Amino acid sequence: MKEVYTVDDLASRELLDAGCDKPARLAVIGCPIAHSASPRMHQAALDAYGIDCRYIRLEVPAGMVEHSFARMRALDFIGANVTVPHKFDALACCDVLDPLAQALGAVNTVRFGGNETTGFNTDGPGFVAAVENAFGVKLADLKVLIVGAGGGAGQAIATQCVLTGVRHLVLANRTVEKIAVLGQRLRSLVDGTRIDLVGLGDARLVELSHECDLIVNTSSLGLQPDDPCILPESCLQARHLVYDTIYKPAVTPLMALATAKGCRTSNGLSMLLRQGAMAFQHWFPNTDPLGSFSQQHSFTKKGLRDYVERSCANTQQFVPSD
**64-94 residue pLDDT tens:** 999 999 999 999 999 999 988 898 899 999 9
Q: Which CATH fold topology does 124-269 show? A: Rossmann fold (3.40.50)
Record the pTM: 0.79
Domain with CATH 3.40.50.10860 in the chain: 5-121
**Topology of 5-121 in CATH?**
Rossmann fold (3.40.50)
The answer to whether the CB of 22 falls within 8 A of the CB of 53 is yes
Q: What is the pLDDT of residue 292?
A: 56
Q: Which residues contact 66 (CB under 8 A, 6 or more apart)?
A: 89, 93
| Cross-strand bridge partners of residue 27 | 56, 80
pLDDT of 280 over the 70 cut: yes
Amino acid, single-letter form, for residue 111: R
Is 80 exceeded by the pLDDT of residue 241?
yes
pLDDT in tens, 12-25: 999 999 999 999 99
Query: How high is the pLDDT of residue 11?
Result: 97
Q: Are 155 and 106 in contact (CB under 8 A)?
A: yes
Q: Are 117 and 73 in contact (CB under 8 A)?
A: yes
CA distance 3 to 7: 14
- How confident is the model at residue 92, as a pLDDT? 96
Q: pLDDT above 90 covers what percent of the chain?
A: 72
Indicate the residue type of 231.
L
Determine the pLDDT at residue 320. Answer: 31
DSSP string for residues in 96-163: EE-HHHHHHT--SEEEEETTEEEEE--HHHHHHHHHHHHHSS-GGGS-EEEESTTSHHHHHHHHHHHH
Q: Please identify which of the residues 87, 248, 261, 302 carries the catalytic annotation.
A: 87
Q: What letters, b where the CB count within 10 A reaches 16 and e where it falls short, cover 25-53? A: bbbbbbeebebbbbbbbbbbbbebbebeb
Q: How far from 220 is each of 65, 201, 205, CA to CA, in Å? A: 23, 17, 19
Q: Is 248 a catalytic residue?
A: no
| pLDDT above 80: residue 316 | no
Select the more confidently predicted residue: 102 or 304.
102
* Average pLDDT over all residues of the chain: 89
Query: Which one-letter amino acid corresponds to residue 298?
Result: S
**Which of 65, 75, 79 is closest to 10 using CA atoms?**
75
Note the pLDDT of residue 301: 47
Which ranges in the chain are annotated with CATH 3.40.50.720?
Answer: 124-269
pLDDT tens digits for 56-72?
999 999 999 999 999 99
Quick one: pLDDT at residue 153?
A: 81
pLDDT of 300 over the 50 cut: no
pLDDT of 307 over the 90 cut: no
CB 16 within 8 A of CB 10: yes
Give pLDDT, residue 312: 43
